[in-house]
């Protein structure tokens, strides 16, 4: 319990460091947020008013204290350009990003762990010779390239899937739930999710395969063989279960990592998500949105790290934080 608390405190410390870096990062970056308003009628009075409304007329340390205080109560401030509360803007796109990330992670990890187990079993065959380079190529291919290839084939040429966005033009839904469960939404989801999944599947697959190879050489597998169990039972019930552990951890971490890493895919597929919001905010020096988006991403990453830790001890009792007497 004590170690849990200490883990939690560590988490808070990490978030404070992240928040501080974010604060200074954007303020030290070249480019003043008021320059976005430069126009033939723009004058000094307007610059002054803008800075005041952004809170940038205060000394840096005052801004910092205000910022931390606000952050502690979940207040991210207002966007410089959209003028709306950052949290509201972030929450409006967050569901799209989470759905995209989760669905592709699930596909990638389900496929990756099964294929990894299978490839470990088929070690040394021609299948391995074809599959491993293919997996590595997909893993190494730039996401935007992969996305454009899929878009060009299945979108522009075959017309099976729409070329971008999360819904058809003018589609009307009564609720958010109805929207994300609609066939239209799912059809829009296929290409971006497939691109992300193709990119993500490499890690679980290779991880699973090498774990399987380790596990397969252990005594209890030999024992199972001696007992005369079927191959299927050995691979799935005995070996795979044990090899799955690191993959589960990777899943939790992968979720944290890819929620902010979808920038490229969201741009290619015009998917209205967090990554795209982040890019436009950075480009426009919209500090509050950029800070907020990065912070949320960090929170998810740190929390998922924590979850991975907990998951580990739950899945494998040998790993535990509790002190043993």
Partner 1 sequence: MAMTRMKLAFSRRRLLRTGLSIGLMSGLVISAAEAQQGDQIRKLVLITGAQAGDPQEFQSAQLIAQEWRKLGLDVEVRGMPRPQVSELVWSNRDKWDVTMWRMVGRPERSDPDELVYNLFHSSTREKGYNFVGYQNPEYDKVAEAQRGEIDLAKRKVLVEKAQDLIMQDLPYFFLVYPKNVIAFNSNVWKKDSIVEQSGIGVRNFWTFIGATPAGATKDMVLNSADPLLSINPLYISGAVDSWLTDLVWDRLMRVGPDGLPKPWSAEEVKYIDPTTVEIKLRAGQTWHDGKPVTIEDVIYSFEAPAGDKSPMYKPFVSNIAGMEKIDDKTLRFKLKTPNASFFTSVLAKINLIPKHVWEPILSGDTLKGKNAESYQEAQPIGSGPFKVARFKLQEETVLEKNASHWAAPKMDRWILRIVTNTEAAVGMLKRGEINYLSDYRGDPKILEEIGKTQPEITLAATVEMGFRHVGPNLRRPPFDDINFRKALMLSINRNVQVQAAYNGYAVPANSQVSSALTAWHKSEQFKPSIEEAKKILEKAGYRLVGGKLHYPDGKKETLQSLN
| Contact (CB, 8 A) for 302 and 15 | yes
Query: CB-wise, 40 or 231, nearer to partner 1?
Result: 40
End-to-end CA distance of the chain: 14
SS3 47: helix
Q: What is the rounded distance in angstroms from the CA atom of residue 268 to the CA atom of residue 276?
A: 10
Asked if 269 touches partner 1 (CB under 8 A), the answer is yes
Asked if 246 touches partner 1 (CB under 8 A), the answer is no
- Cα dihedral: 66, 71, 72, 74 (round 10): 130
Query: CB-wise, 46 or 63, nearer to partner 1?
Result: 46
Asked if 258 touches partner 1 (CB under 8 A), the answer is no
Q: What is the rounded distance in angstroms from the CA atom of residue 244 to the CA atom of residue 231?
A: 18
Distances (CA, A) of 120 to 130, 204, 210: 13, 13, 7
**Stretch of residues binding partner 1 (CB under 8 A), selected from 26-34, 229-237, 242-250, 302-310:** 26-34
Distances (CA, A) of 294 to 15, 128, 175, 277, 279: 11, 40, 28, 11, 11
Q: Which of 39, 140, 318, 325 binds partner 1 (CB under 8 A)?
A: 39
Query: CB-wise, 79 or 305, nearer to partner 1?
Result: 79
- Residues that contact partner 1, how many (by CB under 8 A): 53
Query: What's the closest the beta carbon of residue 286 comes to partner 1, in angstroms?
Result: 10
| Contact (CB, 8 A) for 82 and 75 | no
Asked if 55 touches partner 1 (CB under 8 A), the answer is no
* Nearest alpha carbon to residue 287 among 20, 60, 27, 21: 27
Q: What is the rounded distance in angstroms from the CA atom of residue 239 to the CA atom of residue 117?
A: 9
**Stretch of residues binding partner 1 (CB under 8 A), selected from 2-10, 56-64, 146-154, 220-228:** 146-154
**For partner 1, what does the binding mask look like between residues 106 and 145, x meaning CB under 8 A?**
----------------------------------------
Distances (CA, A) of 126 to 99, 132, 155, 181: 37, 10, 33, 41
73 CB-side CA count, 13 A: 7
Q: Which of 40, 174, 217, 231 binds partner 1 (CB under 8 A)?
A: 40
231: tokens are: 């191959």
DSSP state letter for 239: I
45: tokens are: 């009075």
Query: What's the closest the beta carbon of residue 83 comes to partner 1, in angstroms?
Result: 4
Q: Which of 201, 211, 258, 267 binds partner 1 (CB under 8 A)?
A: 267
Asked if 206 touches partner 1 (CB under 8 A), the answer is no
Query: CB-wise, 83 or 227, nearer to partner 1?
Result: 83
Query: CB-wise, 3 or 53, nearer to partner 1?
Result: 53
Query: CB-wise, 57 or 316, nearer to partner 1?
Result: 57
Query: CB-wise, 30 or 228, nearer to partner 1?
Result: 30
Binding site for partner 1 (CB under 8 A): 30-32, 35-44, 46-47, 49-50, 53, 78, 81-84, 92-93, 148, 151-152, 155-156, 159, 162-170, 172, 266-270, 272, 276-277, 280, 283-285
């Amino acid at each position: 319990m004590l170690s849990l608390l200490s883990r939690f405190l560590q988490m808070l410390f990490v978030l404070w460091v992240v928040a501080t870096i974010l604060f200074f990062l954007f303020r030290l970056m070249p480019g003043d947020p008021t320059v976005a308003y430069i126009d033939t009628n723009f004058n000094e009075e307007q610059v002054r008013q803008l800075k005041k409304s952004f809170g940038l007329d205060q000394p840096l340390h005052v801004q910092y204290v205000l910022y931390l205080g606000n952050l502690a109560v979940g207040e991210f401030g207002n966007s410089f350009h959209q003028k709306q509360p950052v949290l509201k803007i972030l929450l409006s796109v967050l569901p799209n990003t989470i759905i995209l990330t989760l669905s592709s992670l699930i596909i990638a990890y389900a496929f990756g762990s099964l294929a990894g187990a299978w490839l470990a079993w088929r070690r040394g065959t021609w299948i391995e010779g074809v599959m491993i380079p293919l997996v590595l190529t997909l893993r190494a291919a730039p996401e935007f390239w992969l996305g454009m290839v899929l878009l060009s084939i299945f979108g522009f040429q075959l017309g099976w899937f729409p070329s971008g966005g999360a819904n058809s033009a003018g589609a009307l839904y009564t609720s958010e739930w109805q929207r994300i469960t609609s066939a239209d939404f799912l059809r829009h989801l296929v290409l971006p999710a497939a691109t992300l999944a193709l990119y993500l599947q490499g890690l679980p697959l290779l991880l699973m395969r090498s774990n399987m190879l380790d596990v397969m050489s252990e005594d209890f597998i030999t024992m199972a063989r001696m007992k005369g169990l079927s191959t299927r039972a050995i691979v799935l019930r005995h070996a795979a279960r044990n090899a799955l552990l690191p993959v589960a951890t990777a899943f939790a971490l992968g979720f944290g990592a890819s929620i902010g890493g979808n920038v490229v895919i969201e741009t290619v597929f015009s998917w209205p998500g967090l990554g795209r919001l982040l890019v436009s905010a950075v480009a426009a020096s919209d500090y509050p949105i950029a800070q907020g988006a990065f912070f949320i991403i960090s929170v998810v990453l740190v929390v998922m790290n924590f979850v991975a830790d907990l998951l580990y001890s739950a899945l494998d009792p040998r790993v535990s934080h509790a002190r043993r007497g």
